[in-house]
Structure 1
Amino acid sequence: MKKNILFLLFLIPFYAFSQSNREVIQQYLTTPSAKSIISNRDFNDWVIQSEGGTTTSGIQNCYVIQRYQGIEIFRAVSNFSLKNTKVIDVQKRIVDNVSQKVNATNPTLLATDALVKAYFHLGITTNTTFSVLDKLGSHKFRISNGTGTEEPVIGTLVYHQAKDNKLVLAWDFTIHTPVHDHLWSVRIDALNGKLLEKNDLVVSCSFHQEQAFSVTKKSQIENLGATPKQIYTGPSSFVPGGAYRVIPFNFESPSHGPFQLISNPSDAKASPFGWHDINGQVGADYTITRGNNVWAKDDFKAANIDDGASPDGGVELIFDFPYGGTSVAASSYINAANTNLFYMNNVMHDVWYQYGFDEASGNFQENNYDRGGKAGDYVNAEAQDGSTAVPPSLNNANFSSPVDGNRARMQMFLWNRGPEIKPLIINSPSSLAGNYVATQNSFSPGRIDLPIAPQFLQSDLVLYLDSSGGTSEACVTPSNKTALNGKIVILRRGSCNFVTKVKSAQNAGAIAVIVVNNVEGNLSMSGADAGITIPAISVNNTIGEDIINQMTTAPVNVKIQTQSTPFVNADGDFDNGIIAHEYGHGISIRLTGGSNNSSCLNNTDQMGEGWSDWFALMMQLKPGDFGGAKRGIGTFVSSQSPAGLGIRNYVYSTDRANNPMTYAFTNNFQSFDVNGVEETSVHGVGSVWATMLWDLTWAYINKYGYDNNKYSGTGGNNKLMRIVLDGIKLQPCSPTFVDARNAILAADQAITGGKDYCMIWEVFAARGLGVNATAGSTNVGNDQTEDFTRPSTGPNCSLTVVDVNNPNVMSIFPNPSNGNITVRINNYSGTVDMKVVDILGREVYSITKEDFNNEKMFNLNQLTPGIYIMDIKGEGLNYTEKIIIK
């Protein structure tokens, strides 16, 4: 079971001006406080994996990986937070009884032999043998990839944590697939070559809605209290150079606001030499959409190589290109798409830099300007990715983020979710007469626009009869070719691709095609055939079969005609919300578990999708917004109005009538694949987390106001942006909702001294993430338990009876004790008065105005064995407990 493992530890300072972080941690591990939670037997072999991630409050996070005989235990990454040469925070992911769990210490398979097994399991073919290029450590190798891709394979000998709690010796590989559609992290048994686990580090956001069920009460609607002007506010200090016609970052899409020509949008702190620099000297190094933070280019064929075209702004860096809208071919406005993609990636880099996603924390930059971290890892942002591939890439976006120093990749796709249209008009018979919903195809090439009124196509329908099989699927030549000539032809889905069906009917003389779905729901037809010259639409199974049945008794006369400009595609490159969402994956991946580990957000109930939605929402806050409003994600690419539902089950809103989700909803996003393996929808789980963060956002805005300056403002939104990023840095590897909540509380404690402790608890508890909420197992998706208990402990609150009886809030241990007793009061920082009296009421020990920071050990060795009463008082604190000295 997962436990509340957020420990804010008060320790005596270590007076050593030149101590390394390793020395500080090692010395801490010898203290009684550390020994009470960490066994030296299990944690005597460890190494700091990364030590960036300094928070805005000055806490440096050291991400320590546990080893056994020099071999790393995969994902056993604990976060030791240091300040002023002392450990002040530990979030552990330590495996106990290691020696009893390991199955071997020496591999049977060499790294290259295991890589052959990995490629087999992943379905990757190669005609060359693998060779070790470099030895990166005693158990780590750089290996040729055998596929011709630029990136080598990284192989590391590790212990894999199996579900039966065994530690299996394994080879861990990081593998780029040939077209970069996957970045696999895979573990292969080092003894027998079996596949133990695989995780795709390409976070693919196949945006769709998952079902969940729950109800709760309506909450109060908040309002900014500002005039409803929608204002674009850029950085307070910028680097001269560059103008970009784009959708301003605080507008989600062309549906939400107009394009503007924005000049000098780069921030001087985050991008000191502008957006087109890489050498750290004044003057642009590129005049295309390329620079230190991102290279935006097209990738029509999903080739994922560096030959995609980027628009050129000339020496004046003027990127002013027209956008043709959703009714023209997307390739006609690729320059505008790349410009917006370049702009939004850079804005995300610059804004979140202010809150701690900087070089030392593993951000994405080609040149780190000597400010820490590893360089060489700008974002490859690919516009209209795979739009001319066969089949085309549609209705998606993704982001891959390997470890610091390795380039990230963002792929933005076209979307074919057009607005609902009724181009199918049945004239007769009267029993079917009316206008019906139908879906236009997305063939590319091969899409022929429907006739726009007053133009139309009309005829009696003819059913395509296959020359064999007794079917009507148009995968073979027709037996009724003569009857099809000059007619609108209806046929069924199945057995072959859509362009084959349409081409078969066209070759028989058809003037248009209607394809009937063979399952319930609407049908989206994709494919490519430049030889198609007639329009083709699809209808759902119900209306399609009704039409075919009617045709057996009487002719069905139809007209195909649309009343509006035809929809071709929506381009994700203009959806700033989706771009921010994807970039947000890079932030949460690099900050969780440290920038040298990309595998800390692969657990079942992690919140990566939730942080990403929240990043998008925070970027688009404007004066006049209010918490109770409906905020959908992806309404533009879904061809919905800005007030639409978007691509989640619920809109984001503090109004429970609009969004009823609570922590228990996370148990409702499970399904089973074809092999019976349980899967959890990370998008559904993430939406619950984003709901909680959105509530917290409005709690902060209500208390501190809203500041439209996203870069350096002082409003409640700015305060929370800082706290959330610090919280991501403070949380452990494979975090749960409980871990992330506790990390936010810890960040507030570190930044403000716990000023908003009560408010944070109130918000989380209201959505079911209260004191007694439990997260269950990290790799089981439906074992969470919600709780609405609200604690009130902290420097600005009073400790209640419920709280002091709850070990998650307050505990004294060990009890009984040999004399050294530790008092822990989670998230309490201040001074305390403490006294101990015997059973006759005589005071035997006292201390006043003692500095206290969440936990402290008291030495009571001088007391004789017996029963005593310990009394602790502080601001809002009055607690008494019986203790036993042995």
Structure 2
Amino acid sequence: MVGVDNLLQAVSLAILYAPTTSASPFPGSVKYTTHHVREVGKGVRIETFHPPSTYETFGTGIDHPLVERDNPDLEESAIAFVGSRLGVSKSAITFKSGFTGETTRRAFVKQTHDGVPFANAVANIAFNRENRVVAFGTSFVKPTRVSSSQPSIPIGDAIAKAEELIDGKYNGHPPSIEFLALPDGSAVLTHVIQIQNDKTGTWVEAFIDAHTGQLRSVTDFVNKFSYLVLPIAIEVPTEGFQVLLDPQDTVASPLGWHSDGTTSTTATAGNNVIASKGAPTPQTPPTSPGNVNAAVVNAFYVVNTVHDFSYRYGFTESAFNFQTNNFGNGGRENDRVVVSVQSAAGNNNADFATPPDALENDILVHENTHGITNRMTGGGTGRCLQTTEAGGMGEGWSDAMAEWTEHKSADVPDYVMGQFVTNTTAGIRTHPYSTSPTVNPLRYSSIATLSEVHDIGEVWANMLHNVYSALVGAHGFSTTARTNPGGTEGNIVFLHLFIDALALQPCNPTLPAARDAWIQADANRYGGANVCILWQAFASRGLGVGAAGHRDSTTVPDGC
């Protein structure tokens, strides 16, 4: 089983790749940056490993080998830069995906050996409008030994083994052969197989050793819920229901919410979302008596709304969003979000399930945001928020997005997540999100004493609350931010940087890497106009210059 490495080795690897700091030694929590313990199937416990990422940002950019070419090919440019930067042969690099956004072109590549890609050795590169490299993240490895690239176990046997261990069924997604880097420095060949069990809500990629049949790792596509809730209408039902006519944004959803260009419905099914009670069917009525049907309608409305405003800010077809029909705009099709209301289990690619009874909007926005962050980090793989720390940040981004949707003015009060669910003003988190260290004392160093992803997520979400407050304080608030991302107000700036940074950061980022991606995103889009605002907000919670290994720094760059 993958998880038999010792803590000292993990700490050594993290120190090797972490930013320089005078604090030593790092706490044991540094293992969160490369590992995650998961339980799958019938009591199978596995510790997955993800090679540590290094991450560099370059402000206005640096040159790459093909910089002088007119309109250079993204794939060629990315492979040339990675090869020159890491000193590896171009034959050891495979282009995976890429897209062009408003401010940068992003490319995602994999390390290969004998023509076989590594599952967990990847890199991402961002080029600015001047065709210069502005960000580079990599988890490429130098294995001490590599197993044969020809499998000795047939795929049928591997599928049977995966079904047995995961307690599910192969879902028909084409299996692949990929190398997997292990914490002892070796690399093993694996059959990669998707296994599902709708009854238990399991959906994983299983990495079965193609020579020994051993389960080496898993990628979990499901974000587990820690609350029993059904979102409804606005933040909480006590604020009242409203009848909204034609709320769709036809820039993001050109055929509206009930058509994919081939099929039109009057049910809670369309190009972006299908929402239903239990197993989804297109015939689910949009209006029917009772809380369940009201919840289905509201879930359909909320997820479509998040689709539309996130589309405006860059989560488009080419950036790996969720749609049945991509209207010729790039990306893969036939992957709309499935929302199963009042289901005890659910799948996430993204599929979202909310178990019975309760009624709060921020929860559904939170879950929907997992789809955005999992798709945009790593170029659509769904594999790049799998470490404990990165998974925790996923929870933090989701809380921060939920909060963003609920602001109505320039006021930034303390924010409580899930207060209606628990019927308490304290909500479902340990503290309200707040700019006051008395109300919320969480800092970067708090992670050293935390081990659960939602707890780690609170640290990141509270930092983003502070960033949001600082940007709105400096630039004001737009009441039309969801449909007009062209303004200069602070809430617009915040969401642009939120979305832009996701595709800039490396696979399985740490908090310092994600911070650097935000600062680079500001350099790309706003010419660095907000650099000091960002640094001061992050540093106020310990994520200043030199913060690393879950040790605080309150230092900001000269001039800030």
TM-score (norm 1): 0.54
Correspondence for 2:196 = 176
Decide which of 5, 10, 26 is 2:62's aligned counterpart: 10
Q: Tell me if the contact between 1:247 and 1:258 (Cα under 8 Å) persists in the aligned partners.
A: no
Question: What code does the residue aligned with 2:120 have?
Answer: R
Residue deviations 1:283-333 (CA, integer Å, cap 9, x gap): x8101111111111111xxxx4x4475114xxxxxx4x56xxxxxxxxx33
> Does the alignment pair 1:68 with 2:83?
no
**Structure 1 pair 87/175, CA: closer, same or farther in 2 (3 Å)?**
farther
SS of structure 1 residue aligned to 2:297: helix
Match of 2:403 in 1: 617
Report whether the alignment pairs 1:202 with 2:222: yes
Q: C-alpha separation between the residues in 1 aligned to 2:79 and 2:96?
A: 15
* Equivalent in the alignment of 1:287: 266
Superposed CA offset, 1:798-842 (max 9, x none): 7xxxxxxxxxxxxxxxxxxxxxxxxxxxxxxxxxxxxxxxxxxxx
Contact 1:24–1:86 (CA under 8 A) maintained in structure 2: no
Matches within 5 A, 1:493-508: none
1:55 aligns with 2:101: yes
Structure 1 distance, partners of 2:410, 2:493, is 19
Distance apart, 1:785 and its partner CA:
2.0
* Identity over aligned pairs, percent: 30
2:513 corresponds to: 739
The alpha-carbon deviation at position 104 of structure 1 amounts to 2.8
Question: Is 1:82 paired with 2:122?
Answer: no
RMSD (CA atoms): 2.2
Which structure exhibits the higher relative contact order, with contacts defined as CA atoms closer than 8 Å and separated by 6 or more residues? Answer: 2
What is aligned with 2:159?
Answer: 115
> In structure 1, how many angstroms separate the alpha carbons of the residues matched to 2:208 and 2:142?
23
C-alpha separation in 1, matches of 2:139 and 2:91: 11
Structure of larger gyration radius: 1
1:764 is aligned to 2:538: yes
Pick from 400, 419, 440 the counterpart of residue 348 of structure 2: 400
- 1:466-486 CA-to-partner distances (Å, cap 9, x unmatched) read xxxxxxxxxxxxxxxxxxxxx
Cα distance in 2 for residues equivalent to 1:632 and 1:309: 36
Cross-structure match for 2:435: 654
Alpha carbons of structure 1 residues 745 and 84: separation in structure 2 relative to 1, 3 Å: closer
Select 1:788's aligned residue among 522, 545, 554: 554
Per the alignment, residue 95 of structure 1 pairs with: 140
1:707 and 2:478 matched: yes
Please tell me whether the aligned partners of residues 247 and 260 of structure 1 are also in contact (alpha carbons under 8 angstroms).
no
Give how far 1:154 is off: 3.3
AA matched with 2:107? C
2:457 aligned residue (686, 708, 717): 686
Report if aligned partners of 1:78, 1:90 keep a CA contact under 8 Å in 2: no
Q: What is the letter of the counterpart of residue 704 of structure 1?
A: H
Q: 1:96 to 1:384 in 2, by over 3 A?
A: closer
For residue 773 of structure 1, the aligned residue among 547, 550, 553 is: 547
In the TM superposition, residue 178 of structure 1 has moved relative to its aligned partner by 4.2
Aligned equivalents of 2:459 and 2:331: distance in 1?
Answer: 33
Could you say if the C-alpha distance between residues 76 and 97 of structure 1 is closer, same or farther in structure 2, counting changes exceeding 3 Å?
closer
Partner residue of 1:634 out of 404, 418, 436: 418
The aligned counterpart of 1:40 is: 88
Deviation at 1:117, TM superposition (A): 1.4
Aligned to 2:46: none
Corresponding letter in the other structure for 1:400? N
SS in 1 for 2:218: strand
Which whole-Å deviations, capped at 9, do the CAs of 1:409-452 have from their partners, x for residues lacking one?
Answer: 111111xxxxxxxxxxxxxxxxxxxxxxxxxxxxxxxxxxxxxx
One-letter amino acid of the structure 1 residue matched with residue 119 of structure 2: F
The corresponding residue for 1:605 is: 389
- Contact kept, 8 Å, 1:11 with 1:87, in 2: the verdict is yes
Q: Deviations over 1:683-739 (max 9, x none)?
A: 111111011011000000000001121321521011110011100110011111111
Deviation, structure 1 residue 743: 0.4
Query: 1: distance between equivalents of 2:117 and 2:93?
Result: 8
Partner of 2:302: 344
> What is the CA distance between 1:90 and its match in structure 2?
3.9
Tell me, in whole angstroms, the C-alpha distance in 2 between the residues paired with 1:27 and 1:165: 26
Name 1:528's counterpart in structure 2: none
Which deviates further from its counterpart, 629-638 or 354-363? Answer: 629-638
Query: For residues 716-727 of structure 1, what are the structure 2 equivalents within 5 Å?
Result: 716-727=490-501
Residue in structure 1 matched with residue 3 of structure 2 by the alignment: none
Do the aligned partners of 1:168 and 1:189 also contact (CA within 8 Å) in 2? yes
1:200 shift after superposition? 2.0
> 1:84 Cα shift?
4.7
1:360 pairs with 2:334 = no
Q: How many residues align?
A: 500
TM, length-normalised to structure 2: 0.84
CA distance in 1, matches of 2:136, 2:544: 19
**Secondary structure of the corresponding residue to residue 112 of structure 2:** strand
Give the match for residue 78 of structure 2: 25
Cα displacement (A) at 1:252: 1.1
User: Contact 2:221–2:348 at 8 Å: present in 1 too?
Assistant: yes
Matched, 1:155 2:175: yes
Which is helix-richer, 1 or 2?
Answer: 2
The 1-side partners of 2:371 and 2:155 are apart by: 29
- 1:205 Cα shift? 2.0
User: Structure 1 residues 739 and 49 mapped into 2: Cα distance closer, same or farther (>3 Å)?
Assistant: same
CA–CA distance in structure 1, aligned partners of residues 232 and 207 of structure 2: 43
Offset, 1:602: 0.3
- What does residue 478 of structure 1 align with? none
Gaps of 5+ in 2: 1-13, 20-54
Residue 585 (str. 1) matches residue 356 (str. 2)? no
Letter in 1 for 2:478: D
What is the rounded CA distance, in whole Å, between the counterparts of 1:50 and 1:70 in structure 2?
A: 17
Counterpart Cα distance in 1 of 2:211 and 2:492: 51
Between Structure 1 and Structure 2, the one with more strand by share is 1
Alignment partner of 1:334 is 2:292: yes
Distance 2:141 2:122 in 1: 13
In the alignment, the residues of structure 1 paired with residue 211 and residue 146 of structure 2 have an alpha-carbon distance, to the nearest angstrom, of: 12
Tell whether the 8 Å contact from 2:416 to 2:433 is kept in structure 1 after alignment. Answer: yes
Q: Could you list the per-position Cα deviations for residues 243-265 of structure 1 after superposition, in whole angstroms to 9, with x for gaps in the alignment?
A: xxx955xx41213x110111111
In structure 2, how many angstroms separate the alpha carbons of the residues matched to 1:378 and 1:637? 27
**Mapped partners of 1:207, 1:411: distance in 2:** 11
1:252 counterpart letter in structure 2: E
5+ residue gaps, structure 1: 127-144, 146-150, 209-245, 313-318, 323-331, 387-392, 402-407, 415-569, 671-680, 776-783, 799-886
Question: Could you tell me which residue of structure 2 aligns to residue 141 of structure 1?
Answer: none
User: SS of the residue aligned with 2:62?
Assistant: coil
- Shift of the 709–85 alpha-carbon distance from structure 1 to 2, 3 Å rule, reads closer
8 Å CA contact 2:362, 2:403 repeated in 1: yes
Q: Could you report, residue by residue, the CA deviation over 1:461-505 in whole angstroms, capped at 9, with x for unpaired residues?
A: xxxxxxxxxxxxxxxxxxxxxxxxxxxxxxxxxxxxxxxxxxxxx
